[in-house]
Structure 1
Amino acid sequence: MKVGFIGLGNVGGKLAGSLLRNGFDLAVHDLNSDLVDAFVARSAKAGGSAAALMEECDAVITCLPSPAASARVLDEMLPQVGPGKIWLEMSTTDEAEVKRLGAEVAARGGMAVDCPVSGGCHRADSGNISIFAGCDRAAFETVLPLLTVMGRRVLHTGPLGSASVLKVVTNYLATANLVSCAEALVVSKAAGMDLNTAYEAIRISSGTSFVHETESQVILNGSRDISFTMDLVAKDIGLFQQVADRAGVPLDISPRLIEIFADGIERFGPRELSPNIIKRLEEATGLDIRAPGFPAQMVDDEPEAPGEEVVVHRQAAE
């Protein structure tokens, strides 16, 4: 399978790197020519344009910063879509929009899959990230060999659009975890607790979470670097709120998270690293929430391993 990859940013570049590292025939495209050149130096081909990639490749993956960016790129590729062509949308996007775009791909005889990732840039880099895939079962089985190279755990979530819903659900939870971890660390410091001890107390208790065991570490280091920015958080939690609004679900926490990150963006700028949402509380209290011995960036310490489908277990009807 010849694969095209569009969007070589913090996540996309790492996913594309897994394909290249594992021997795929890969062509790449990005508005940043330096990123393309770096991949060409590693034996990838320069795609030239989105349309050229779709014309030349069996499957084209997009990993872009917004639904609008994905729509622009797909519009460029659509004239080249036909039977046998596959579009995989790995961006965090809107359920309704990926369904709309997927219908245009299907109308031309192509196959569309929404397959966002979850687990952090460090796991995208190692090929151990988790991947959700929304599509019919036949399409899933077609793309599974491709997805299991980029990810360790691959979950078929249902029809097109279902993966995008679950992706924003999990990003919402991660954001709520981040804000609560920030509050917990600041309160611990204000109450006179040693932050190294506080970190371990949370880690070994019912209060722990994936976010605590990763993002709390770079918060305490002071780098706050997880290669994710406040504008991207705002986009993701906004998409979650849209899902809730369409479903008619009144929420309490989600609107407050949107307000918190809007305030963070106003204070620190849209491209500020997302864990620096803790600066709102550092400034309010005058406290410095740092401690020795924590890493500046997260590195996946699991060796790369072949991915596999995660099977949803259901109790058989009696």
Structure 2
Amino acid sequence: MKIGFIGLGNVGGKLSGSLLRNGFDLMVHDLNADLVAGFVERGANAGESPAQLMRDCDVVITCLPSPAACAVVVEGDNGLLQSMGAGKIWLEMSTTDEAEVKRLGAKVIAAGGAAVDCPVSGGCHRADTGNISIFAGCDRATFERVLPILTTLGRRVLHTGDLGTASVLKVLTNYLATANLITVCEALTVAKGAGMDLNTAYEAMAISSGTSFVHETEGQVILNGSRDISFTMDLVLKDIGLFQDVADRAGVPLEMNPLMIKIFKDGIARFGERELSPNIIKRLEQATGLDITAPGFPAEMVDDEPEEQGYEVIPTGRR
């Protein structure tokens, strides 16, 4: 398959790099010409527009910062729909709205193509090594067609059901990660305020029932002081806002998520929307006068697992 990739930002640039590294015929497009030039230097072809990518490729992948940006790429002037037809596949790897991906996907299917929402989870460091997890929402036949691509992009691939289901589960998992980030920040600040050594506190959390993926990754860059996970507060607010939309449509009253939205709105008001998301802890540092850093922790997350061919994850109870 010839693959087009639109969106070469923090996540998209790493995912498309996995395709290029593993020998796929790749054409790329981004509003940032410098990002495109870097991929051309590494062997990719430059695309002129979404329509041209869809015309010349079998599969076009989008990885964009918002549902609005994706709508422009799919149905705008020179959008994917202008060249959509039988045998063509649109893979949406952005974190997006369930209703919006269904709306755009219906247009793709009506034009003869196939649509998959397949967001990723696990951090930019795992996107960079091809070890990230991927959710895929689509019919089973389409899933099997794109599985060789997905198992190159990621390590663990879960078919979640029909189009839109992957987007629901993605914002659900991002909600959980955000809740955990806030509680890790509070736990570390309380540990420092209570006179605990933060290196020891980190290990106590890591070997206990209080551990988590967020603690073991983001906790380290929080304590380093870099707070660099290549993810920003505006993106967190977008994701938990999408989760709130899902809950509202389902008629589920939430208590934690509205509070989290309030916390991140306050963080953005204080530090700016492009502030790194782990720096939400600065609200507590400012309130207490404490410095929540410790020696010996890395400045950025690095995936030390070797790159391996991915595989489909079968849900518990269906194995």
Q: What range is the shorter-chain TM-score in? A: over 0.9
Taking the aligned partners of 1:281 and 1:312, their CA distance within structure 2 comes to: 39
**How far apart are residue 228 of structure 1 and its match?**
0.1
Residue of 303, 310, 313 corresponding to 2:313? 310
Query: TM-score with structure 1 length normalisation?
Result: 0.99
Distance 1:291 1:68, change over 3 A: same
Q: Give 1:160's aligned residue.
A: 163
Residue of 143, 149, 153 corresponding to 1:150? 153
Taking the aligned partners of 2:250 and 2:54, their CA distance within structure 1 comes to: 35
Question: Secondary structure of the equivalent of 2:242?
Answer: helix
Residue of 267, 270, 280 corresponding to 1:267? 270
1:57-81 CA distance string (max 9 Å, x none):
0000000000000000001110100
Taking the aligned partners of 2:309 and 2:302, their CA distance within structure 1 comes to: 18
Letter in 1 for 2:231: F
Unaligned runs of at least 5 residues, structure 1: none
Question: Secondary structure of the equivalent of 1:65?
Answer: coil
Answer yes or no: is 1:286 the counterpart of 2:289: yes
Q: Give 2:118's aligned residue.
A: 115
Letter in 2 for 1:39: F
1:145-294 equivalent positions in 2, closer than 5 A? 145-294=148-297
Unaligned runs of at least 5 residues, structure 2: none
Q: Which runs of 4+ in 1 moved over 2 A?
A: none
**How far apart are residue 315 of structure 1 and its match?**
6.5
Taking the aligned partners of 1:313 and 1:218, their CA distance within structure 2 comes to: 33
Q: Give 1:42's aligned residue.
A: 42
Letter in 2 for 1:135: C
Q: Give 2:143's aligned residue.
A: 140
Letter in 2 for 1:281: L
Residue of 94, 98, 110 corresponding to 1:95? 98
Query: TM-score with structure 2 length normalisation?
Result: 0.98
Question: Secondary structure of the equivalent of 1:182?
Answer: helix
Letter in 1 for 2:141: A
Q: Give 1:15's aligned residue.
A: 15
**How far apart are residue 48 of structure 1 and its match?**
1.3
1:24-66 CA distance string (max 9 Å, x none):
0000000000000000000000011111101100000000000
**How far apart are residue 313 of structure 1 and its match?**
2.6
Percentage of matched positions with identical amino acids: 78
Letter in 2 for 1:16: S
Question: Secondary structure of the equivalent of 1:223?
Answer: coil
Taking the aligned partners of 1:31 and 1:49, their CA distance within structure 2 comes to: 10
Distance 1:315 1:139, change over 3 A: closer
Q: Give 2:32's aligned residue.
A: 32
Taking the aligned partners of 2:69 and 2:31, their CA distance within structure 1 comes to: 11
Q: Give 2:86's aligned residue.
A: 83
Stretch deviating more after TM superposition (85-94 or 47-56): 47-56
Taking the aligned partners of 1:312 and 1:190, their CA distance within structure 2 comes to: 42
Taking the aligned partners of 2:82 and 2:30, their CA distance within structure 1 comes to: 20
Taking the aligned partners of 2:70 and 2:297, their CA distance within structure 1 comes to: 37
1:252-303 CA distance string (max 9 Å, x none):
1000000000000000000000000000000000000000000000000000
Taking the aligned partners of 1:248 and 1:275, their CA distance within structure 2 comes to: 30
1:200-228 CA distance string (max 9 Å, x none):
00000000000000000000000000000
Give the number of aligned pairs.
316
Distance 1:315 1:228, change over 3 A: closer
Letter in 2 for 1:26: L
